[in-house]
Structure 1
């Protein structure tokens, strides 16, 4: 629960807002008082979604469906307005933690409490299905724990049974790791899909692990469809029923009625594991600490920004635990309304200025290997962004860039990150290293609660970093090689693609293979050709040529191995399209791979028409064209500034949440947080690039989002 921001309204409809419960890509969830004085959770949809007439129609329909629910373990809808400028929906407030938080903090649940949880959730799903709905997003984060039992919430993507979905078939809707195989394939779902999700939830609560692993959505979706769940540690008494829930075939899963018969009656006297009753009670007590939201009475009429400012200031002054600095700033805001006019209060209260004279400073650390040419590119791009910010009039602070050498090893990188994080002046760390070094900085930053942005590394080991203080500024291998997949699907359109999997580095290459073989990621058929570690590619190349495959995708990371594959294909007479990702780039590969297409996470500022202004500014400052990764570093610094500005005086502690609060568009890509899947991402289509090997070098071809678009 967070305090309201100055930009938040005082009221929505007849509901007076008291605090923020959360925010994501779709909107903000507030804690609010109803006209009758009861607490409720009010979800307000962002205006950019509301501008779409189709969205309003879907929102109206979802609200009408949710009103049907009257089950004991579901949360009733109190009111909604689909026609408001920002549509909203109010439900009863459940003052307890989510199951996801409970398992993360206290670990797996014992068998007896699992049976109680299963009994309540099976009854909840029975009520959902009896209302003619399928929930489609049953997951630990959507199960709240109250003193008298769990509540299933968030019917935002529910659909009526037998009604055609308003999204196109083939679209995956739900949360990877808890959705069913049929959902993962983008197919129509029914009640058995919710049963599968319930099995995932119970297994997660029993073992403390997601049954299909962590990481990027594509890898989790692949495992959901093609691999067996990880249920080691399930109590013997539940293993058989949960195993049936997790069947790939919907016909083999138990019905909700069978589940209710198996789990029996809910026992509210003994349903929470040890430690959780106190957490539930403490969470409920937090509401009692909040001030009762009240209106502000003034002698004369105030309108517009002035009325809004006075109301927000008065409410903030009434809030408990408000710092003296905040009170003084808001007091100045109220006094300044008449003299300075509407809107000046915002700059006064949020600037973080220390008064007349020098601006406060925000220090950003840049960590990498000084012997790596990419570090110089990062440093130049970063310093250009810092210089631009510091020359902007009206800025709330000055930036300082502090560099550190990670020495090219994970151990030295961790030590350098620890030293930077120990400096209270440093608000943020940017890592410019490689897959071998950056993981060393992740744990150090997490331990120090240091916000950490990673620009270059893309190992799938970093997928779970989004759950710590680290955010990845590019897609990882688990998210796939977007540019080459888009080129194959939109330009080549192969009937069959040969995926050549080099088993020399399986831990690093399996995520890519999983991604490209997930239904919908690679159009057309595919044939997997596995080549043993350090084995010969000749046999695979002959099979590919004899079959007449239209394209070859090389899944490997070593330039010399990619070179061997390219040479074997050429000697076998193969003439189709060949693609790979940036890790194969190196002299051995470039000498053998004429015409190959390469997908990267870095732009070419010299050749990319979108980056002409950046390239010109770089040449003016340094007298040279920008190298790869300079533009990405420039973007990362500006993204940090965007968050630091919103965080105000709480630079380090509030920065990560501010960076997740709203999407941000840079010159190379878009960054946003997917609240439903709890995943931060640099969007593939806007942050991936295609190159071609020509005369032993790589030349820029296109951004991924421009591939296949009509020109003219």
Structure 2
């Protein structure tokens, strides 16, 4: 748990706040004390979401749906206010560890305890489904362990059965490894999807490992859709029912009611494996030791949630009629007590403390990468322009100092560079300008050092789990596919058939892109895949493509020389259709062979892009040359960091990531925002992606992805 920020209110809806349990793009979750002295988890929704009337309607509807739930294994709603300036919802606080933490720390569960767990969770899901809800994110992290039984929490993405989903079909919601095949494909889900997730939970608890393996999200999703689960180690008495839960066909799975009949009644005697009762008791005792929350002081504009109190009728602690959802219900938005075992930090500095007349505090920003790489030079120049601009702006609260570190182009060097930079207590944030080979190690080191790391360039799907670290991606990974290419094909070319030429030379790195376009069907029209063995010639595949007269070709590979060979083979076969690839193939050999090809990138040409020409002029004035690729993106990274540091105040390092997740931010190259559930980079309207064409052996800027279909 983290201490409150100076900008946090003292009270929301009569609930006195004690600390922060977490924060994301949707809002902040506080540990709070009710007017009656009960500890609870209170989620305050950010005002920018509340400005959408549709959001308020959805929030109100789901709060009302929560009021229907009366099951003992879900978390009760204490109060909610959908009409407040910043809507909020308070649920009972469960101080126990999550099932994920318990299995990781104490190992697989014995048969008897597994059966008790299954009985309680089946009863919980039966109550949820009977009330017309689908949870959609049943996983070990969303199951908290209390002395008297488990609690299913976090209904943040729950949906009503028969009601239009708040997220359109075609997007994947949930946690890879625990979502159903229909969820993995982005299709409409119902109660059977929760049953599948419960099967994954039971398998994991029985064996200590995920049923569909670990590793990169794309691989886990693929195995979920196409492969059998790994049930080796599941007790024989449970194998049959778990296997039925994990059927690919939703119609073949048991219902939650059938699972209740199978497991029988929950037996609370000895339901926790050895060692866990003591852990649960210790967590509960920590709450009893907490001090009474004190008033806080806001150092800026009035907090939206605090304003709500000023306008509410009645005495403090007496919710208005619209706040009274005080039914014995369960949470729409439950909260995992992930930080309950952490360090309890209380108190806050005097916001009136002076840093000295005329002297502003400084915030250090670190930039790490390979100094021998031209991309690092581009990053450094863009970053220094942003620093200069900030340090000469009127009304700023601090000055920025940029420090750089050389990572040598290796993973070990990247980890060491992070450690060197983070060792300075004044270091507020790091920017990783490295490659797919170095940035994953930097992410691990940054998390260990508890410093935020902004990732600009790397796109490996190893970063798909970055939402569980201190890193924030400023671009999507390969798992999200090449947005500019897909948008151009679907909106401009509109081919009846697209062939993906999958170069198996680097299959582990290229498979996520292929899956995105095939398993998740992100390409309109018919899609075929031509696999070319590692190192083999592309001639036969090119001949078949030319004979079919396919409307478009996507090269799925990352080596420029292999892409060049594919380009030559297609040209020699007489194919003249649309040919596209992503930025990884760019190189001299490819540009010589790929006249007319379209390339999707995540960096702009600042001199040609109409929205970055002012930056390009400033770059020329300072450095005497046009900005190279990634300079404008690094400029945005520093400005995004400054935006978050301004909001974080004196807690620049510890609170920065939470602040950056809070609000969307518009830069010169992209709009930066994060999905409130997954915390992944959210490329609304494909912002931050760009399209180029190879002309005269040179890459020529065509358009931003969000303009494709309107200007191209």
Normalised TM-score (structure 2): 0.87
Q: Secondary structure at the match of 1:628?
A: coil
What's the CA shift string for 1:113-169, capped at 9, x where partnerless? 322221110111112222233222322332222221111123344344444546544
Distance 1:682 1:650 in 2: 28
Counterparts of residues 420-499 of structure 1 (less than 5 Å) = 420-499=421-500
Q: Is the 8 A contact 2:564 2:589 kept in 1?
A: yes
What's the CA shift string for 1:665-699, capped at 9, x where partnerless? 32222333434225455668112111111110111
What's the CA shift string for 1:8-29, capped at 9, x where partnerless? 3333334343333322222223
Q: Is the 8 A contact 1:218 1:518 kept in 2?
A: no
Distance 1:691 1:157 in 2: 37
Sort the Cα spacing of 1:414 and 1:167 in 2 relative to 1 into closer, same or farther, 3 A: closer
What's the CA shift string for 1:411-462, capped at 9, x where partnerless? 3333333333334443333221222333343333344334322221222223
Q: Secondary structure at the match of 1:29?
A: strand
Q: Is the 8 A contact 1:603 1:689 kept in 2?
A: yes
The equivalent residue for 2:386 is 385
Distance 1:596 1:431 in 2: 30
The equivalent residue for 1:179 is 179
Counterparts of residues 2-17 of structure 1 (less than 5 Å) = 2-17=2-17
Q: Is the 8 A contact 1:216 1:479 kept in 2?
A: no
What's the CA shift string for 1:374-426, capped at 9, x where partnerless? 11111101111111122223433322222222223333333333333334443
Distance 1:216 1:100 in 2: 18
Distance 2:480 2:225 in 1: 16
* C-alpha displacement of 1:565: 0.7
The equivalent residue for 1:143 is 143
Distance 1:195 1:79 in 2: 29
Sort the Cα spacing of 1:92 and 1:322 in 2 relative to 1 into closer, same or farther, 3 A: closer
Q: Is the 8 A contact 2:12 2:306 kept in 1?
A: no
Distance 2:656 2:107 in 1: 28
The equivalent residue for 2:603 is 602
Q: Is the 8 A contact 1:644 1:655 kept in 2?
A: yes
Q: Is the 8 A contact 1:472 1:682 kept in 2?
A: no
The answer to whether 1:586 aligns with 2:587 is yes
* C-alpha displacement of 1:706: 1.7
Q: Is the 8 A contact 1:170 1:186 kept in 2?
A: yes
Q: Is the 8 A contact 1:413 1:437 kept in 2?
A: yes
Q: Secondary structure at the match of 1:528?
A: strand
Q: Secondary structure at the match of 2:479?
A: coil
* C-alpha displacement of 1:602: 0.9
Counterparts of residues 549-588 of structure 1 (less than 5 Å) = 549-588=550-589
Sort the Cα spacing of 1:210 and 1:638 in 2 relative to 1 into closer, same or farther, 3 A: farther
Counterparts of residues 269-280 of structure 1 (less than 5 Å) = 269-280=269-280
Relative to structure 2, which stretch is displaced further, 66-75 or 153-162? 153-162
* C-alpha displacement of 1:557: 0.8
Distance 1:622 1:288 in 2: 60
The equivalent residue for 1:196 is 196
The equivalent residue for 2:365 is 364
Report the number of matched residues. 673
The equivalent residue for 2:334 is none
Distance 2:393 2:207 in 1: 52
Sort the Cα spacing of 1:165 and 1:106 in 2 relative to 1 into closer, same or farther, 3 A: same
Distance 2:162 2:540 in 1: 50
Distance 2:156 2:74 in 1: 13
Distance 1:186 1:428 in 2: 35
* C-alpha displacement of 1:108: 4.0
The equivalent residue for 1:510 is 511
Q: Secondary structure at the match of 2:478?
A: coil
Distance 1:653 1:166 in 2: 33
Distance 2:371 2:496 in 1: 46
Relative to structure 2, which stretch is displaced further, 577-586 or 168-177? 168-177
Q: Is the 8 A contact 2:18 2:294 kept in 1?
A: no
Q: Structure with the greater relative contact order (CA < 8 A, sep ≥ 6): 1 or 2?
A: 2
* C-alpha displacement of 1:236: 4.2
Sort the Cα spacing of 1:233 and 1:468 in 2 relative to 1 into closer, same or farther, 3 A: farther
Q: Secondary structure at the match of 2:203?
A: helix
Q: Secondary structure at the match of 1:58?
A: helix
Relative to structure 2, which stretch is displaced further, 262-271 or 582-591? 262-271
Q: Secondary structure at the match of 1:591?
A: helix
Distance 2:153 2:583 in 1: 43
The equivalent residue for 2:327 is none
Relative to structure 2, which stretch is displaced further, 653-662 or 197-206? 653-662
Q: Is the 8 A contact 1:175 1:676 kept in 2?
A: no
* C-alpha displacement of 1:249: 0.2
Distance 1:308 1:555 in 2: 52
The equivalent residue for 1:625 is 626
The equivalent residue for 1:41 is 41
Sort the Cα spacing of 1:482 and 1:11 in 2 relative to 1 into closer, same or farther, 3 A: same
